[in-house]
Every structure is written in C-alpha cells, then in structure tokens.
Amino acid sequence: MGVLNLILITVDQANLWESVKTFLPATFVLVHIFCTLVGQPKCLRTRLRYLSAPFRSFLTLEDLLDPVDDQPHPTALQSRVLTALATVSAAGWLARLVFTIWIGETQYAMRCLVCTISWACVTIAIAIRPPRTPPYLLMAFASSLLIASLVDIVYSILMHKQAAVDFIAMIFPTTFVWVAGTLPLKTYRPTLNVAQPKDMPSSDLSCPEDDVNLWSWSGFTFLNPILLLASQRTLNETDVWTLSPFFRHKNLFTKCLHYRALNPTHSLLRFLVASNSLDLILDISLEMWSAVVGFVPPYALKEILSALAADTPEGKRVAFYWTLLTFIVDLSFAQVDLFQGWHARRCYERTRGQLFCTLHYKALKRQEISGRIDHEKGKESNADLGKIVNLMQGDSYMVAQRFWDFSAIATSPVRIIIALVFLYQILGWSALSGVIVVVIAYVLNYPLAKYNIFITRSAWKAKDTRMSLVNELLQNIRFLKFYGWEYQWARNVQDARETELRWRIKENVVDTLISFIWIWMPSATALTSFLCYTLIAREKLTVSKAFTSIALFSQLQEPMVALPGQIFAILNAYVSMQRIEEFLGEDEVPKWASTLTATPTEQGFKEVKFCDATFEWQKRKHPSATPSRFQLGPLNLTFPQGSLSLVIGATGSGKSALLAALLGEMHCKSGQVSLDKTLHQVAFCAQVPWLEHATIRDNIIFGSPFVLDRYDAVLDACALRPDLAVFDAGDLTEIGEKGITLSGGQRARIALARAMYSQAKCVLLDDPLASVDMHTAQHLVEHCLNGNLVRGRTIILVTHHIALCLPTASYLVEIEQGRVIRQGSIQELKDQGIFSAVAQIQENSPSLEHSDPRPKQNEADVLGMDDKSKLCRQPTDGKLIEAEARAEGRVSAHTYMTYIRAAGLLPWLITISLLLLIRFINIGNQFFLAKWGEAYQNGLPALTVTAFSGYPWTGLPSPDVDVKPWLRIYLYISTAGAFSVFFYIAVGYYASLQASRSLFVSLLRRLTRAPSRFFDVTPIGRILNRFTTDINCIDGALQNSARNCLSGILNFVASFLVILYVVPSFAPFALFIGWLYVRLAPPYINASRDLRRLESISLSPAFAGFDELLRGITHIRAFGMEDRYQNRFYLRVDKFQCYDHIYWLVNGWLRWRYDCLGSVVVFAATMFALWRGVSNGSAAIVIVQAGIFAEASRQLVRVAAQLELDFNSVERVTEYLNIPQEAPAIIEKCRPPAYWPSSNGQLVVEDLVVKYAPHLPPVLRNLTFTVEAREKIGVVGRTGSGKSTLAMSLLRMVEPTAGTISIDGIDISTLGLEDLRTRVTILSQDVSLFSGTIQSNLDPLGHCTPEECMVVLERCHLTNILNHTPTADEPTILDMRVNHGSLSAGEKQLLAVARATLRRTNIIILDEATSQVDSLLDDQIQKTIREELSDAIVITIAHRLKTVMDYDRILVLDDGNIVEFGDPRSLLRVPSGAFREMCRKSADWLMFEKLIEP
C-alpha cells in the first residue's frame, strides 16, 4: 500500500510539472497580448496611476533642464530576427506536435499545441508592433521554456535517457532571449552627449549607463572602456564621464524646491522618503529575495548531508540535485545584488546631494551671523563654518547612509523569523531556548543604547567645537603668527580634540560591549539549543543537523548582530537630522532681501527709503532675553534717486549698520525698508573688502558680461592701472583667499571697481576711501563718484572724508548712537544755517575745489613711474594657488608605516595574533562538530582528518552514552572564540585611537609651524578637508578596513588549506579560480584608486567655496548673485559625485563577477567532495570552507582596494606632514633676556636680501640701515617696492636669503620665533578678533590683570565707544562677548591698538592702524600712541605722507632698494630727490613746503 501511494504521489508530481511546463509560459504571452493590444481600461488607469505614485521615478524627462535626445534607436534588425526566431519555434513545435501524435505519445500533445499557438502569437505580436525596448513578458515566456528544457535535460542525464530533443528545444528560446536583451532599455537618451561603447572615456560625455541594453546593464559591461583606460594609465579628471542628468544636482534640487513649494508642511525627511520611494521599494523587494531565498543553501546543506549519511546511489543523486539548485540560487543572488546595489546607491547619492544643496541654499538665505553673540543660556549657537562643514561631511552622510541601509533594516525581522522557524523544524522546541538568550541580550542592550545616543550627541558637539577652533586658527593664522600666539591656539585645538576623543573612548567602550554581546549571541544560542536538544530532549546531534543549525545560526547572526547597530545608526541619523533641521530653522533674511525669494517689481526700481524703521542685530527669542547692545533707529529716510548721498558720524555710531539694515541684514523690529535687490539692481562695497579667490578681472566683473570699454573706464576711475602694471600677469593675477596677496588699498579699490562695473541702479559704499591715501581718495571722488559711471545711479556713501565728498554730494545724513540727528540736502542744510555744525566734525582734508589741478597719482606710487624699465616684468599666468597634489600608483609603504607607527607596533602584533587565534578556533569548532555528529553514527569510521590522537575529543565517551563532555568542550571553544573577538575589537579601537590622536596632533603642529607663504598658496578649504574627511576616515573607517583586509587574507589562506587537506584533488581547480580572481583585480584596483583620489581632491573646492560664501554672504545677496553661487555649488558637487558614482559602478562590476565566481567555487568544491566520496562530516567542512573561501576571495580584492583607498586619507595627511617648517618656536640655548629688546637697543639691518621663493627674483636687495633707540621711522615707497616685505622680515614671516637683522645686539635669526614675535608688535589694517570676551582678545595668554586691561581700554577710548551695559553674564566691559564680526571696523582697530599697547613691546610696526576711525578719534589715538610708545622704536608703513612728516627719519624704498634715508626736512631739501618728488605731487604739498622754509 505504501509503495502504491509513493507511485501515485510521483505520478501526481509528474503531472503537475507537465502542467506547469505547458501553461505557465502561455500565461506570459496572454498577458503581453492583453497589455499591448487591448491596454488598460480608463477606469482602471486612474486608479493605477494613484496607486503607482510611489513606484514612479522622482525625476522624469520633463524635469530635466538640458536638451534631451528623444530619437529612438534603430531596432528593425532585432525585430526581424525575433520574428524569424518565433516563426521557426512555432514551426518546430508544430512539427513536434505532429510527430507525437503520429507515434502515439499523446501525453505531450497538449504542451506542443500550447507552445505552437504561443509562438505563433509571439510572431504576430512582434510583427504588428515591433518592440523598441526589451519585451520582458515575451522574454519571460522564452525563459520559462528554457528553464523547463534545462530541467528536463538534467533529469534525462541523471536517468540515463536521451536529451537531444530537449537540447534542440532550448536553443531557440535562448537565442530569442539574447536578441531581445540587445534592445535598448530606454527609447531616449536624457542628454545629447551620452557616451557610446566605442567612445574614449571623457568628461565631455555623460555616463553610458543612460544608453545600455539589458545585457550590458546586467553585467555592467558598459564600464569596460574606463577599466581598459585605467589599466593603461592613471585616470585624470578629463577621463571620467560626467553624471547622468538624472543624478545632476541642479535637476534634483529644482524638483525638490518644486515639491517643497507644493507641500510646504511636509518635513525634510518626508520629502526624502517621497523622492526616493521607487528606489526604496525596489531595494526592499530585492533584499527580500535575498532574505527569503537565502535560506535555500542551508536547507540544501541539510539535504546533502542527510543524503550522504544514507550513503546510497539515490542519496548521491539527491545531493547532486541540491548542489545544482544551490548554484542557481547563488547566481541569482549575484544578479539581484547588482541591481539592488545600484538602486540603493542612487537613493544614497540623491539623498546626500539633496541635503548638500539644501544646506547650501539655506546658507544663502540665512541671516549673516558672523557678528552674532548668543546670550541665552542653554541655547545652541548658530552654525559657523566648522559646524556647517560637519553638517555636510558628517550629518548628511549619516542620514544618507540610513537610506542606503534601509532594506537591511526592513528585512532583518524577516530573516530572524525564518531562521527561527527553520531551526524549530530541525531542533524542535530546543531551538526556542535560544530565544531566551536573545531576549536577555536585548535587555542588556537597552541601557547601552540609551547611553550611546547621549554619547553620540555629545561627540558631535565636541566635533563641532573642535572644527570651529580649527577654522578660527586657520582663518587667522597670519595674525596669530604676527603675535606669536599660534602655539597657544594650537593647544586650544588640541584640548578640544582630546575632549572629542574622550567621548570617542566612551563610544568605543559601549560599542565593544554591544559587539561582544551580539557576536557571542549565535554561539550562545547554538550552545543553549544543543544543550537542550542533546541533554534534555536526548536527541542525536547528527552532522546534517549540527552544520545546518550552525549555518542557520550564522544566518541568524547577521540580522541579530546588525539590527542593534542599525537601530543605533537610525538613532544617530535621527540626531543628525535634528541638527540639520535645527540649522534649516535658523533665522533668514526677509524675503525681499534675497533674490532667491524676492520677485521683481513691475514698476521697476523703487526709491530707497526707511519708514519708521527700527533695527537690532539679533532678533530676541523672548522678552526676557538680554537686550541688544546697539539699536538703529527709528529711521525715516528717503535717499534721493540718481545722486550721491553721504552718511557721516563718529566711529561706532551706526553708519555701517544703516547700510546693513538697508540690505536686509539686520532684524527689523518695526517699520519698513524699501530697496529692490532683484535683477542685480544693487551693488555693495563693504568697509572690509570681500574678494573671491579668482583673478582681479573676475572679481571686478563678478558674473556680469565683459564689456572692454566699461572695464577700462572702471580701471581708470579706480586708479588700478599702476597696480596692475606691477603684477606680472596684470588683471589676470590670481587673488589669494581673502585677497591676502593685495594691500588694503588695492583690495578696497578692486571692491569699489566691482560695484562700479556692475549695472546696479543703487550703489552702497561703506567708506572705501579709508584704506587709500588722500591723493588716491581725491582721484576716486573725482573720477569714480563723478562722471559717466555714476550718471543716473543712486550712490549712498559712508565716509569720514566729509569735506572731500561734500562738493559732489546732494544729500547728507548724520548719525549718532544709532539715531539720525541731521538729514537733508546740502543746500537745505546751508539754508537752515546748520551746515557749519556739520563742518565742525569733518577732518582737515582739502576739498576738490582747492586741490592741486595736476594729474593725480597715488602718493607712494609716484616714485619710479618715469622709469618704465623698472615695471617691465616677465609675464606669467598669474596663478597663485597651486593645484592640489594627487598621488599616483599604489599607496607607498611609507604611508602604511606612518599609520602603523602612529598606532603602535605592539597593538598591531596583538591584533594579528588574535586574528590567527580566532581563525584557529573557528576551524577547530567545525572539526569538533563534525566529529561530534559522526560519533553518533555507529559502525562508521571516524572522521579521517581526526583519526590521530592529540585532539580535545580524543578518548571522549560516545555522545549516546554521555554528551556532557562534548557540550563542555563546545562551551570552552565558544567562550574562547567570543573573548578572542572581544579583545580583538578592544585592541583595534585602542590602535585606531592612538593613530587618530598621533596623526591629528602631528598634522596640527606641522600646519601651525608652516610658513605664511604656505597659507597664501593653499586654500583654507583644502586644509579643512584634511581635518574633516581625512581625519574622520582615520578615526573610523580606516581601522575597520585594515582589520577586514587582514581577516580576509587569513580566511582565504585558512579555508584554502582546509579544503586541500580534506579534498587534495581540488587544488588545480582552486588555483585556476584564484587566477581568475587575480585576473579581474588589476583593472578594478587601478580605476577605483584613481577615482577615489580624484574624489578626495574634488571635495576641497566645494568646502573652500563654502568658506568664501559665508564670509561674503552680505555682498552676494547685495549683488543678487545667490543663483550664481548655487549653480556653482551644483557643478562642484556634481564633479565630486561623478567620481564617487563611477567608483561604485566599478565596484558593482567587480562584485558581480566575484559573486559569480564564488558561486562556481562552492558548486565545484561540493561536486569534488561528492565525487571523491568523503564522509558527510568532511563534506560539511568542505562546503562550509568553500563558502568561506568564495566569500574571502570576493571580499579580499575589494577590501584590499578599500584599504588602499582609505589609506589615501593617511597619504593626504602625510603630505602635509612634509611641508616646509618655520624655525623652532623656542631655542633653549638662544633665549633672549627678559628685558629684551630694551628701550636703549638699536635695530640694525645689514645686506638684507629676501626672496619669496628660490626661483623668484629678490624683493629686498642688499638693504643696510640702522634705527636708533626710541626713533620713529616712516617707510614709504610705491606699491611693490618692498615695504610690507621689510615689516615681515622683522618678524621673520619671510626668512632672509642673505644678510642679518639685529635687535638690541641679538641676531634675530638665532632666536626662536615665539621669543621674537612676542617681543615685536605689528598693527595692520586687517584686525582679527576671536570668539570670546574683550579681555580674552586683549590678553589671550592671561599675562595682565583686569585692572591693566581696563586702563588700556580707557586710554584707547573704547569704554565710551562700546557703550557697554552691565548684565549678570557680562558685569564689566572686559566680560563683554565678541567675535570676528560683532564690532565695527573702527572698533576693531581701536581694540587692536589697545592690544598692542598692553603688550608694551619696544618695537612697534604700524600699517595704517587707524584708517577706519574718524579724524577726531584718530588724533586722540595718535596722541595715545605717542605717549604710550614714547620709549619704543616705531616703524610706520605710510600710505599718507602727512602721517610721517613729524617722524625722526624717512626710509624711501623702490624695487627693493633704499633710495633715500634721512630726516624729512633734509630729504625735502634735496633737489629732484625721490621723497621731494613724492611730496611735490601730493595734495599736501603746500603744507610740506612750510617745513623747508627757513
């Protein structure tokens, strides 16, 4: 009866298989015909459109901003071939139908009939409507026939039957599928320049992924051209395809803005989910395939081992079946992983790009916060550059990464449930005992998870603080070097880094504990389950059950270990999203103040006015907040159109604030402002000029069309011709960051030229005359503020040069303490009789009516103009910033050793030892389980590889008799493995921490001691990139890559040796497979390495641009250039992401091939084991080790390449460890006495020669002069004559090429730089303030008492000007909090004077130190300087000859040579003397003539 039932079941299964083979393929054809010829009903179409919304692509063709190539590919040939194949197939099945009827095999007639009709329908469908893209339903039809034939062939071979007919039947469906797959996937190309297969890779072409067929897409063969090129030479920027339009950030963010406009209440997170819904759904669906079908290999392992235990021919046949099925499933994983990886990566890239663009877009609209001081306790400060860089390079990546990993999170519960059910089927209720262990693990995890969130928040805050300090150090490095304070600031950064690392240590401890819990979890669950199964249930733990259970526990381990980490990562991403949302929620300028939100008015340019307007710098969040130190208004002003208006007032009165309020940069408490900034109708020139890192011409044009006549007129009006003649490349000379290579006057005039060149109808000028000498100021007023350039334009000029500008002005506004005390036209003020009151506050400068009518030139630039030969210079390209270095070829051994030495040799030796121990324990564990399982099989020989004594299980009783010793040994092995991993992780974290600390400190110290020239030619953004991306990589990813690489090598070697030990005959095949692995590796390694390096250097411009953006945001908004900067950001991020995108495509190319080869390895190793007839225990070891070998082989090249890529960060840091260094800060053997330099010491310069670089000509040529004690020296000379270089030489900012400088009898070249620079003080136009208090800015090192600081503040008149109101947080003016932008330019200069006075050094260098203060206050400050510095040597670099006329002597420089040196009277009496000629052409010549009268 049992035999009969078995036969009936077999017959039923056979009939079912025949039915499936017959009707399933036909179903695809029917669906295709219905969809193609009938279409969707209208009522259904609407519903489907609604339901399919999440399945539609975020970007469509209509969303692309560039032209689209919508011409379809020619597909006539493929259509004809497909029609012919379908016709032949239909004829073949018809012939087979006739033949089966003729021979009487009617059971096959139905299948032949259905296939005949189906192929005929396919023929008709293709003939009527030839496909332009792959007909997927028809391909599914042909594929189902192909699979059915393949199964029949295998069955016939195993049953020793003929398979010729099935083989022939397989040829035509195969060909049909292949031809159909050659059709293009899209009927269009999203851009006109998509790369074709035969095109050489070029940045002029778009990525070829937009023009592929099914086969090139399924294997990523479209990447072959770039891989071939990478094998031949190093990839350069011009060799990499640009991004597809569907990835370009302008297209993405434009759609983002459209979505946010339609759905203003939706959160950013909701938008990110909605915009990536298709990718997320596909990602989860494909991952679900791997999650569900991924349990086929463990089930197959169980069936194979069970069949081998039976040791029958039928059992071996079953084993072969399951081996083949596992092979097919593994191949499907390779294909699914490829597609899933692409969609997950697209989701990641789009999310990251949208966050980048959102942050940048917000920065363009956000209120300028450089001068904002947050007084509210507990409130997060507004984001500065350091925090924004962290938001971009940390938080954005964190959030985007969760989208990449989302599918794993979604499918982890599914994997756990299936594994537990499967385990229950094998081990029964014993498997459920492991659930208790899991619950205990989660209970232990909960407090650790909560603490981990707290640590993460604190760590990000610490990182923000550290980055802010790094940014402050780098932005002000030149000033800090002037004062010898850079080492103190570096120590502050180092302290902040240590605080950050302390949080990281806590994070590492928590991670180690969590990792230990979850890594031991599979062993603990297996041990618990085996104990219950053998000891309590008294069942036999056979080889098939043991290894299948271990495989399932391994399957269970991945989601169980990953799930807590994924949850923590989501929580961390939640913290990051909160930080991003917090930044996006910061105050913005009014809508009218930004062209991104303003709308042009139809009436044209409106009048410029205030209506009952009151302003504060910062909006108070609640009434109890600390009131603002300064309030502007109420204002009722209307500036006359088409004329010049003057805004005057004392230093700190609110003149600059009025312009800021007019531009919308101050918070308007009440009233209204009228100014139309749309259509580039406003231009602005600030008191502190802001220039781009670009050429002089680009700075002047500033995005406007280049018109030569207008450009020439602006150069002449702004007196820039002589300056351009000095530069080798003229107006194509590149300006360094912040215009550091230009003088203050040059920067001011270039900024003025930018405003004048623009077509703006309203021009706002904030004291551009302050930074130039009087003669140049007269030239600017006469030619720039008069004439054609300003005709019809409304000019609002803030100035202290009142008398100079009054004849040109039409309107005047006077401000005092934020209030308008006088306003009106010049004529009205005269008529009202109050003009004399205004005139009383003006400076003593000549007006235009009484100025010298001769042609005007800069006073200091007169010398040498007649000698044209001196200006003839070798033309250059004008480049200042050097291109960022990019290493080529493999990472050097020196780089690896740098990291190893930084981490310490001992931790690495311990790590390798622990890795070897872990591998040994894992392999021993598998052999022990094999021995344990085989010990149950009575009458079978022992496991061949364990047949000798010396193993722990030698002499153990049979597990049938006493299983406890076996369980005890398994416990020992599991515990040893768990603790080995625990120590391995802990040592790894320790090594990583040591390396991070060491490399960061080394990088910081080397940069701190770098010469100032290095910062002139290296953008700050490039340096910041080292402190963010590269240090972050060293902090985290690098250690993991190193450990993974070592682990992969050991896995590869160990598994290979184990397989060869059990199945020696597998060696030739394993070597061949290994050769294939190695053969595929070089193109990938070369391409990925070059792409990663290109990506690294392309990051710097994006963040350097962000620094520039934040510093100049007021100017950018004033000129209405937000769109220009946003578009430039799009291009920079596109460039960075194209390298990243191509890298991951190349990564997918290798992964697919290695996955396929790995499937072959497992299949071949299993077949060899079955062919050699090993025992089921040995077969289990071979199968498991083959899987490890395949995984290790697949991972090894990729992990090794990733390690090399991560070491690129070490390489980039190491590059900066080799930059030139200044002299030591302190030389113990040559420390000067405490009194040095004394008030009686001389300054002696002998044969001084200075070059900025060895290949450049000398800037100073054999200078020799002596300055006596207490002497006041004025240094004059034209631009480029060497005045600033001489001052820099006194501080050794530039080291002399030859000659000596001695101060008070000591050669300064023998001193440490800190000893020198703390004893010499320089006061320049550019003043740096740091975040802190007035006292911390006056005395950063804490050398002076508060009383001394207060005295200096009073002497410099700051107590009255700052108008401080005591509060609980700021009881005195010394406690008043400030930062770089919180004081006006004049207030900052006064604070700098106070700082210099407090230092009490006996050598002072002045460089227009009071150019931004009013005349009256300037006189008071000059008096203070004369009184306080009476015992000091004072060297003044003079731009105004009048300021040095009462000095003891004048040093005249020209082209690096001393032309004259003597007292002013003597030099004025020299006929045709250089100094006399300067003075004769000065506006103050009449006053100078009186000095030489007898």
Q: What are the tens digits of pLDDT across the range 1020-1072?
A: 777 887 888 788 888 877 887 888 888 888 888 888 788 888 888 777 887 88
Reported as type and span, the H/E element at residue 1144 is helix 1122-1172
Give 839's DSSP letter: H
Distances (CA, A) of 377 to 1, 381, 466, 625: 88, 10, 20, 10
Q: How far apart are CA 66 and CA 63, in angstroms?
A: 9
Handedness of CA 701, 705, 706, 708 (dihedral sign): negative
Give the mean model confidence (pLDDT) for residues 1087-1113.
Answer: 81
Is residue 949 scored above 70 in pLDDT? no
> 183, 172 in Cβ contact below 8 A?
no
- Residue whose C-alpha is closest to residue 543's, from 301, 747, 817, 818: 301
Give the mean model confidence (pLDDT) for residues 533-537.
Answer: 79
Burial track 620-655 (b if 16+ CB lie within 10 A, e otherwise): eeeeeebebbbbbbbbebebeeebbbbbbbbbbbbb
Q: How does DSSP assign 909-939, residue by residue?
A: HHHHHHHHHHHHHHHHHHHHHHHHHHTTSTT
Average pLDDT value for the chain = 81
Give the mean model confidence (pLDDT) for residues 335-355.
Answer: 92
pLDDT at residue 160 in the model: 63
pLDDT at residue 380 in the model: 52
* pLDDT tier, 856 (very low <50, low <70, confident <90, very high otherwise): very low
pLDDT at residue 1169 in the model: 77
Handedness of CA 12, 14, 15, 17 (dihedral sign): positive
- Which of the residue ranges 1146-1150, 1356-1360, 1361-1365 has the most confident prediction, judged by mean pLDDT? 1146-1150
pLDDT, greater one: 1168 or 824: 824
- Helices 964-1008 and 486-531, interaxial angle, to 10°? 170
Q: How far apart are CA 393 and CA 1100, in angstroms?
A: 11
pLDDT, greater one: 1294 or 844: 1294
Which tens digit of pLDDT belongs to each residue from 1413-1437?
666 666 677 777 777 778 888 898 8
Give the mean model confidence (pLDDT) for residues 281-302.
Answer: 87
Which tens digit of pLDDT belongs to each residue from 1442-1491?
777 888 899 998 888 999 999 888 888 888 888 888 888 776 777 777 77
pLDDT at residue 441 in the model: 79
Give the mean model confidence (pLDDT) for residues 891-918.
Answer: 87
- Residue whose C-alpha is closest to residue 805's, from 755, 843, 837: 843
pLDDT, greater one: 206 or 148: 206
Is residue 237 scored above 60 in pLDDT? yes
Give 1282's DSSP letter: S
Reported pTM: 0.79
The burial class, CB within 10 Å (0-12 / 13-18 / 19+), for 1272 is buried
pLDDT at residue 321 in the model: 81
> 960, 936 in Cβ contact below 8 A?
yes
* pLDDT tier, 10 (very low <50, low <70, confident <90, very high otherwise): very low
Which tens digit of pLDDT belongs to each residue from 1179-1204?
777 877 777 777 777 677 667 767 87
- Residue whose C-alpha is closest to residue 1407's, from 1389, 1431, 1384: 1389
Which tens digit of pLDDT belongs to each residue from 1237-1282?
888 889 999 999 998 777 778 889 899 999 999 898 988 887 667 8
Helix (H, G, I), strand (E, B) or coil at 763: strand
Q: How far apart are CA 1453 and CA 1448, in angstroms?
A: 17
pLDDT at residue 51 in the model: 60
Which tens digit of pLDDT belongs to each residue from 497-523?
999 999 989 888 888 888 788 777 777
pLDDT, greater one: 28 or 1131: 1131
pLDDT, greater one: 929 or 1153: 1153
Give the mean model confidence (pLDDT) for residues 575-594.
Answer: 89
Which tens digit of pLDDT belongs to each residue from 392-442?
878 898 899 888 888 888 888 888 888 888 888 888 888 778 778 877 877
* pLDDT tier, 700 (very low <50, low <70, confident <90, very high otherwise): very high
- Residue whose C-alpha is closest to residue 743's, from 845, 652, 659, 858: 858
pLDDT at residue 955 in the model: 61
Is residue 871 scored above 50 in pLDDT? no
For residue 281, the one-letter residue type is I
Give the mean model confidence (pLDDT) for residues 346-374.
Answer: 85
pLDDT at residue 605 in the model: 58
Is residue 854 scored above 70 in pLDDT? no
**Across the strands, what pairs with 667?**
616
pLDDT at residue 161 in the model: 67
* pLDDT tier, 862 (very low <50, low <70, confident <90, very high otherwise): very low
What residue spans of 405-485 are helical by DSSP H? 406-427, 433-475, 477-483
Is residue 946 scored above 70 in pLDDT? no
pLDDT cut 70: percent of the chain above it: 86
